Amino acid sequence: MKANWIVLAGTLVLASACSVLMGQEKEDRTLLSQQQMTAIINEVSGERAMHHVQELVPYQFVRPTSEYQSHFREAEAMARMAKEYGFSNVAIEDYPTGQTWQPTVGELWTSSPKNSKIYDIHDIPESLASTNANGDISGDLVSVGQGAAADFAGKDVKGKFVLSLAPSGLAAIYGRAAAAGAIGVVGISAIGAGDRAVDYPNAVVWTTVVAQPNTAAWAVSPKVARELETMLNRGQKVTMRSITKSEQVPNKQEIVHAEIPGDGSTTQEVAIGGHLFESYIKQGANDDSSGCALTLEIGRAYLKLIAEGKLPRPKRTINFQWVQEISGTNAWFNAHPDKQKVIIGDLNFDMEALRLSQSRSFWILQRTPDTFPSYINDIAQSPMEYIAEVSRERVRYRATGYGASQPVESPNGSTDAFYIKVDKHYGSSDHVTYMQHGIPAVMFITWPDMWYHSSQDTPDKQDPTQYKRAAAVGTASLMALASGTDEMAARILSENIGRGLARMGESHTKGLGYMADATDAASLTDGYKEARIAVLHQAEVEKGVVTSASVLWTNADSGKQKTSAFLPLIDQRATELLSEVKAAYQLQALQRGVPAAEPVMTAQEKEAANLMVEGVARPGGLGGPGGGGGGGQRGAAPTGPQLPQEMNAEFAILLGKHKTALEIRDFLSGEFTPLPLADLMAVLHARETAGTVKLTVKAETPAKTGKAGKRASK
C-alpha cells in the first residue's frame, strides 16, 4: 500500500506538472517550439560569453603601435575563437583609411601646490583626450566655470591651462581656450555628468579633441575636477604639467567576418553581430565587446545544436559581422556590394549583459522606425518576451512550488530579474547602416549604462546570467530569421498580424487619451483629429510590416500574394477603431455640453497640404531608410528652431520621401505625440533659408477622394 501510494502520488505530481506545462505551452509560445526553446536555453552559456569578453578586453590598455601594422588583438581573438567553434569562411579584412594618431606616453601632473601625478594613460587610457598631442608643457590653471564664451571674458588664459566643469564636452571648450591662447584644457564630459558623476565620481569618460601643436586636452573624473576647483577656490596656485607623445600610424577599418552556411536552397542571407571597435583608442567590455562576445556564443550554440539534430540547419547563410562601428559596416558593404542584394535582415547587439540591478537598466529591443516598417521586429520581440516570462516567478503557477517555471540563470551569474523593454527606434549603431542599405535591422541594447564610454567599462560590471538570457533570445531570433522555410514565413506573418493588432490598439488608446485630456471644446476637437491621425498612421505602418514579410517566402511572388490579402483587413480594423474614436468623441462632447462637430481643415493645414518638402543634398546625405543617430544626422547640428529631439531622425528621413508638409506633420504626430503644425513650419522655413530644404507649391490637380479626403473631412 505504501509503495502504491508513492507511485500514485508521483503520478499526480507529474500530471499536475504536465498540466502546467501544457498551459504554459499555449501562453508562452514563440516562433519556435517549446522543445527547441528548451534546447537553446540548455545550451547557451553565459560563462562562455564572459570568457569571450575577457579574451577581448580583460582590461583597458594603450594599444601598441605594432598592432596597426598587423591585426588588432581583438580581431585575432575573435577569428581564433570562431575557427575553434567551427564557423565557416572566417576572415579578418582590412581596409586602409590613411593615417591616425596613437598615444604612447601621456602623463598629467600638478607641479604646485604639490608635485603629484594625476593620470597616466597606461593606468587610464581614456584620460588623454587629445590623442595627437606631443610635448612637455606646463602652465598655471585657470577656472572657466561652464566654459561658455562669457566665462572666458576678462580672464587671461594665454599660456595657461583652463579647467571646465561643463558637461557640454571638451571639444567646444578646447576650441574657445585655444583661440584665447591657452595651452591646455582639463575637464569632464557630458556622459560623466548627472547621476553618473555622483555615483561613479572616479570614472573618466572617453572623448576626443584634435589639438593644435604644443597644446593638450585631458579628460578627468568629476572627483578630480572638483578637487582642482576647490584648490583654486581656496586661492592656491595650481600649476599643471602635461607630458605627451603620440605617433602617426596607418589607419584602417578592420573587420572580422564569419559564416554559418545555408543549405544552398536560397540565395538569401541574414546578418548578426556587433561592433568590435569604436575608435581603436577607446575600448569597452560592455560597449561593445559584449555584443561581439554574445553573438560569438550565439553562433557556437547554434552550430552545436545543429550538429546534435536539435535545431535544423538554416536555409539562409548567416553572416557574423564584428566591425568598427558604422564605418566598418559601410566599408564591408562597399567591398561586398553583392551582400546588400541578398541580406534580408540583421540583428545588432550593442552593449549587453550588464548587471541590470546595479546599473538600474533595462535590456531593450529598439524597433525599426515607422519610416521602415518591418517583419523583423516581431521576430526579435517574441523570444525576448518568452525568456522574460519563464525567468520570473509567476504566482498563478505556485501550486507546483515557488520559483520561475524555467529559470534562465548561469552558475556564476546573478538571480536578478530580467527587466526588458520594447522601445522605439534609436540609431547610433550598426543597425542604422543596414537600414541605410535597405536591410531591416533591430538593435538589442542595455540602457542606461552607468559606465558608458568610461574608464570603468570593464568586465566586472557584467553578468553571465544576462549573457545567457540574451544568448537564448538571440539564438531563437536568429533561427527564425535564417530558417528560410515557407512554414516559418507563415508563422512570422501570423506574429506580425497578431502583434500588429496590439500596436493598433495602443495607438487607439493613445488617441482616446488625447480626447480625455481635453479641457475645452477646441482642445477636444483637436484631440479627435489627433486620435484619427494616430489610428490611420499605425494602420499604414502595420500594412508596411505585413508587406515586408513577403520576402520570407521561397517564392517572392507567392509571398506578395499571401501578404497582400491581409491589407484590406487592416483597413477594416482601422475603420472599426475610427468608429470607436468617433463614438468616444461624441461621448466626451456630451459630457462637456459642447457640440461634437466634425473638424475641418484650417487655412494653415490647407497651405501645408499643398507644400511639397524636399531635402537638399549636402555632405553626409539625408540618411536613407532607417535614418541616422537617435538625435538626427551626424555632423553639424542645424541652427534655428528645432523639433523635439526624438523626432529628428525620422524627420531627416521624411525629407527624402516626397511628402507634403502636412503629411510630414501627421507622420511625426502619429508616431510620437502631436506636433504643432506651426512648429514644423518654423523649422522648415528656417532650413529653407539655410539652403538644406526646398519648399515648392504643388501644381493644382482635380479634387480626389482617398487618404487626402479622409484628412480634409475630419
pLDDT at 650 over 80: yes
C-alpha cell at 701: 490637380
At residue 16, does pLDDT exceed 80?
no
Contact by Cβ (8 Å): 569, 493: no
Residue 692 exposed, middle or buried by CB count within 10 Å (0-12, 13-18, 19+)? middle
Cell 570614472 maps to which residue?
203
**Alpha carbons 41 and 189: distance in angstroms, whole number:** 40
d(CA 132, CA 537): 50
The whole-number average pLDDT for the span 163-187 is 89
Q: Can you read off the three cell numbers belonging to residue 253?
A: 577599418
Average pLDDT of the segment spanning 167-179? 85
Mean of per-residue pLDDT scores for the chain: 90
**According to the model, what pLDDT value does residue 372 have?**
97
pLDDT at 594 over 60: yes
Check residue 13 and give its pLDDT.
34
Task: State yes or no: pLDDT of 235 exceeds 90.
Answer: yes
pLDDT confidence of 713, banded at 50, 70, 90?
very low
Q: What is the DSSP letter of 616?
A: P
Give the pLDDT score at 345.
Answer: 98
Average pLDDT rounded to a whole number, residues 490-503: 97
CA distances from 646 to 336, 374, 452, 629, 651 (A): 33, 20, 20, 10, 9
Is the pLDDT score of 576 beyond 50?
A: yes
Q: Say what the pLDDT of residue 403 is.
A: 81
Cβ density class 338-372: b for 16+ within 10 Å, e for less:
ebeebbbbbbbbbbbbbbbeebebbbbbbbbbbbb
Check whether 693 has a pLDDT greater than 90: yes
Q: What is the structure's pLDDT at 343? A: 98
Q: Are 435 and 376 in contact (CB under 8 A)?
A: no
Angle, CA 424 vertex, CA 418 and CA 427 arms, to 5°: 100
pLDDT digits (tens, 9 = 90+) for 541-554: 999 999 999 999 99
Q: At residue 79, does pLDDT exceed 90?
A: yes
Q: Which three cell numbers stand for residue 218?
A: 585631458
Is residue 341 very low, low, confident or very high in pLDDT (cuts 50, 70, 90)?
Answer: very high
Domain 114-237 is in which class?
Answer: alpha beta
Say what percent of the chain tops pLDDT 70: 90
Higher pLDDT, 17 or 211: 211
pLDDT by residue (tens digit) across 664-685? Answer: 999 999 999 999 999 999 999 9
Query: What digits encode the pLDDT tens for the residues 595-610?
Result: 999 999 999 999 999 9
DSSP 62: P
Q: What is the pLDDT of residue 231?
A: 96
Q: pLDDT band at residue 710, thresholds of 50, 70 and 90?
A: very low
How much is the pLDDT for 471? 98
708 pLDDT above the threshold of 70: no
Residues with Cβ within 8 Å of residue 447, at least 6 apart in sequence: 351, 361, 362, 364
| β-bridge pairing 611-615 and 135-143 | unpaired
Classify strands 343-349 and 441-447 as parallel, antiparallel or unpaired: parallel
Residue 149 confidence (pLDDT):
84
- How would residue 27 be classed by pLDDT, with cut points 50, 70 and 90? low
Question: What average pLDDT does this structure show over 559-577?
Answer: 97
Residues 6+ apart with CB under 8 A from 473: 380, 383, 384, 387, 444
Q: What is the pLDDT of residue 5?
A: 35
CA distance 307 to 592: 68
**Class of residue 434 by CB neighbours under 10 A (exposed 0-12, middle 13-18, buried 19+):** buried
Torsion on CA atoms 136, 141, 147, 151, rounded to nearest 10: -140
* Grid cell 578592420 in the structure block, residue: 254
pLDDT of the residue at 630? 43
What pLDDT shows up at residue 636?
52
pLDDT tens for residues 97-144?
999 999 999 999 999 999 999 999 999 999 999 999 999 999 999 999
Least confident of 49-58, 302-311, 379-388, 392-401: 392-401
Rounded CA separation 479/103 (Å)? 43
Question: In the 3-class helix/strand/coil scheme, how is 634-688 assigned residue by residue?
Answer: CCCCCCCCCCCHHHHHHHHHHCCCCEEHHHHHHHHHHHCCCCCHHHHHHHHHHHH
Q: What is the pTM for the complete model shown?
A: 0.90
In this structure, whether the domain defined by 31-98+250-482 belongs to CATH 3.40.630.10 is answered with yes
pLDDT at 409 over 90: yes
Instruction: Find out whether 695 and 660 touch, Cβ atoms under 8 Å.
Output: no
Mean pLDDT of 448-454: 91
